[in-house]
A and B are shown apart, each in its own frame.
Chain A
């Protein structure tokens, strides 16, 4: 496969969810890198984490699949009324519950540190804090 073909096939619409996730990730990462305000950095970090969480959720989707709850009266093979039921994969969702908790803890800690930094430096801007450090040692 030559390069243009590879590009076309990889930009195929079937992968649109991944492109969205990548875009969201890069938005988050860009905010973390480019913004000097610590609170905005934390928000960027949150967007970055949210993109990863969405990635897992996307992965769990099974085409035509329903919520993974076995209906009453289902037989052992998971069938119901003679035809088989397709379920979405519940595992990534469970994993992401943990990841969300980790994300909340990270955000809480980052904000707590930002409060302390504001108390010590009198600013929430990274560049001003750097100047303060250079002046005060």
Chain B
């Protein structure tokens, strides 16, 4: 039974998108999309429950058995990602529609929902499929729709950012496609498990090394790994805030899964981390991301831009977990995937609330807002504390396991650097909190008229804020699943 409904995870949002285009009724489309996403979330949770403890569910599209046919294959790590993407989509979609894209009039909102659904189905497709070229197709479906979503931000620079994102994203996509081509050339198959079984990577085989290089660079562009992150701050700060919340919480996370899958499942940890020693590149870049991006975040005057730079830094933590190549560190990276989605999604939703009531998220415009919008500001403080990694929040859980993993590897200096970089987060979060609560509003910008955000906006933001604390205290679900996924990856499985 469960393997029959597995395919619906991708098919439902994919079919719902044209339905939205045809029906053209904004309210119907909104509720319909919400229903579809809720169904996807329910399926994802059912899948996760089913595969916990090492189970695998496989679905053969069109009845063609793998490796010839395309296989949808779900193990712990895929189900973890599916649940994350659908959960975040559900929260973001339930956010009040008044926080939607400012440039799209109400009578054309149905197109916005359709693109959003396409983006979701692309991301879910990447997570669920067991076929290398199928991944490329879903990657481009999700990327193309996220370029559109980014371009809908109110400011003229949103369109420019979307164009820049498109150029970078396409280059990344073509690199990925070339890498898949080289793997196909080496193995004669596109099924991921079949590639992994047939591929015998060695440093003398230039084709394989080139394939690895192309795949890693291509995915790193989409993931915004430090020197390739240039598209991200612009895209996230000019996109509609709901879109930023969704993309920050899911798009880069799915790319992270893809990178981990390529490194551990296809090429295998022994080749990548012992023969090739990829960590010699990945570790310094991760640490640079943590420091330079956090440093850049300190100097931002726009809250969205500050959060975007902080995202680049957080991606650094995830890739740091990847480069340890041990179960604790990798699980730390994978659990940070969820934890960062919760906190950054929540923070961007808070930004959406502030934008709706204050009209600007420039740091000067936020002076004194803490008293006018106490609940919104409190959610921001919780998210901020989590970014720093204060005990009791999800950020602490991630950093705890990351530091343990790094120490297990014997990299004491890296562990110290993780802790030092948290101080930078303290500075940029502290800056925002200081402005919100302690700075007097400027004479030219009275805030007396500002009221608390409506419930339809506050509730989703608070759901994520509460989750940031809840999963900071109970780690059985998040770390338990991440640990299982990490062990699976290290064993070369998916």
B45 to chain A, nearest CB (A): 31
Interface of B is mostly: helix
Of B144-152, B221-229, B365-373, B419-427, the stretch lying at the interface with chain A is B144-152
Q: Does B12 contact A (CB under 8 A)?
A: no
Q: Are A95 and B133 in contact (CB under 8 A)?
A: yes
Q: Which of A71-123 contact B (CB under 8 A)?
A: 91-92, 95, 98-99, 102, 105-106, 109-110, 113-114, 116-117, 120-121
Task: Answer whether A106 and B140 are a contact pair too, CB < 8 Å, given A32-B171, A55-B178.
Answer: yes
B window 180-239: CB within 8 A of A: 181, 184-185, 190
Rounded to whole Å, the gap between the CB of B189 and the closest CB of chain A is 10
A113 to B159, alpha carbons, bound, how many Å?
6
Whether A52 and B171, one on each chain, are in contact in the complex, defined by CB atoms closer than 8 angstroms, is no
Which one, B161-169, B271-279, B304-312, B346-354, is touching chain A? B161-169
Chain A residues in the interface with B (C-beta under 8 A): 29, 32, 38, 41, 45, 48-49, 52, 55-56, 59, 91-92, 95, 98-99, 102, 105-106, 109-110, 113-114, 116-117, 120-121, 129, 133
User: How far does the Cβ of B55 sit from chain A's closest Cβ, in whole Å?
Assistant: 31
A73 to chain B, nearest CB (A): 26
In the complex, are the beta carbons of B163 and A38 less than 8 A apart? Answer: yes
21 A-B Cβ contacts within 8 A? A45-B167, A45-B171, A48-B174, A49-B170, A49-B174, A52-B174, A52-B178, A55-B178, A59-B181, A59-B185, A91-B190, A109-B148, A109-B166, A110-B167, A113-B147, A116-B151, A116-B159, A117-B160, A120-B159, A121-B156, A133-B157
Residue in B closest to A136 when the chains form the complex, CB atoms: B156
Chain A contacts for B167, CB-based, 8 A: 32, 41, 45, 110
B17 to chain A, nearest CB (A): 14
* Contacts A48-B174, A106-B170 given; does A114 touch B163 at CB 8 Å: yes
CB distance from A71 to the nearest CB of B (A): 23
Which residues of B sit under 8 angstroms from A32, Cβ to Cβ?
167, 171
Interface centre among A48, A59, A99 (most CB of B within 10 A): A99
Q: Is residue B177 contacting chain A, with contact meaning CB distance below 8 A?
A: yes
**Any A CB within 8 A of the CB of B42:** no
Give every chain A residue within 8 A of B361 (Cβ-Cβ): none
Docked Cα-Cα span, A109 to B115, in Å, equals: 13
Verify if B137 is at the interface (C-beta below 8 Å from A).
Answer: yes
What is the CB-to-nearest-CB distance from B231 to chain A, in angstroms, rounded to a whole number?
Answer: 13
A105 to chain B: which residues have CB within 8 Å? 140, 144
> Which chain B residues border A49 with CB–CB below 8 Å?
170, 174
B166 touches A106 (CB 8 A): yes
The smallest beta-carbon distance between B72 and chain A, in angstroms, is: 17
B144 engages A52 (CB within 8 Å): no
| B-chain residues with CB within 8 Å of residue A109 when the two chains form the complex | 144, 147-148, 166
Interchain CB contact under 8 A, A99 and B148: no
**Chain A residue with Cβ nearest B168:** A32
- Nearest CB of chain A from residue B145's CB, rounded to whole Å: 10
Considering the chains assembled together, what is the distance between the CA atoms of A133 and B158 in angstroms? 12
CA distance A133 to B457 in the complex (A): 31
Q: How far is the CA of A109 from the CA of B160 in the complex (A)?
A: 13
Q: In the complex, what residue of chain B is closest to A6 when comparing beta carbons?
A: B206
**Does B184 contact A59, Cβ atoms closer than 8 Å?**
yes
The docked-state distance in angstroms from the alpha carbon of A52 to that of B140 is 15
